[in-house]
Amino acid sequence: MEKLLYTLCKNTVQLPRRCHGKDYKTYYPGVSLEAQEDCYPEELQRSENLENLKELLNSNECRPYIENVGNGVTVYAEYYIEEATYEREDDDDDWEFLNGSMYYFRDADNEPAADKVGDINPIKAARVIAGYTQQQLSDLLDIPLMTLSQWETGKRNPPAYVKKMLFTMLKHPEILK
């Protein structure tokens, strides 16, 4: 069985010492991060819904950033969406990459933050991918809006069992009906 899926990814690359504090794109104009030997791509979220992923990609959650990680190492990170075909034998297997690699990049301001904006909050990512606003999810699950907002900003953490239930519900929206 094959399926077209979209994957929100983050690429990070260590900047050369002479480039620290500068935007990667300024230092290497026209060179993609993937072309660098020390590029570290990371899959953050996979979905069938491109529009929701694009919304997340263009939010401040996915703003590129430059981070000084210590010991003279500075990292540049940027986000993108990969479109590819995946396959699996049956419903119990994980989706495996088959082919493709069309990329979608930010339409929003792509200037990197001078400091780390932060990785995507998984609760917010799951909500956006599922297509709910904070208010809709708050009403649907009978969770105070302020609580959900604090979970998404990282001001508060829900108990592990609540996180697990929330992700399961958002991954399988038929449960909520």
pLDDT score at 76: 78
Cα–Cα–Cα angle for 82, 84, 85, rounded to 5 degrees: 160
pLDDT score at 147: 92
pLDDT bucket at 29, cuts 50 / 70 / 90: very low
pLDDT score at 113: 63
pLDDT bucket at 20, cuts 50 / 70 / 90: very low
pLDDT score at 167: 78
Average pLDDT over residues 50-75: 81
The more confident residue out of 145 and 168 is 145
Residue 98 three-state SS: strand
pLDDT score at 91: 80
pLDDT score at 108: 79
Q: Which amino acid is at 73?
A: V
Of 58, 42, 50, 52, which Cα lies nearest the Cα of 4?
50
Give tens-digit pLDDT for 94-139. Answer: 877 778 778 888 887 766 665 544 456 778 777 776 778 889 889 9
CB neighbours of 132 closer than 8 A, spacing ≥ 6?
Answer: 140, 170
Give tens-digit pLDDT for 42-61. Answer: 888 888 899 999 999 998 88
Give tens-digit pLDDT for 142-153. Answer: 899 999 988 888
Secondary structure (DSSP) of 31-94: --GGGSTTEEEEEEEEES-HHHHHHHHTSGGG--EEEEEETTEEEEEEEEEEEEEEE-SSTTSP
Does the pLDDT of residue 174 top 60, yes or no?
A: yes
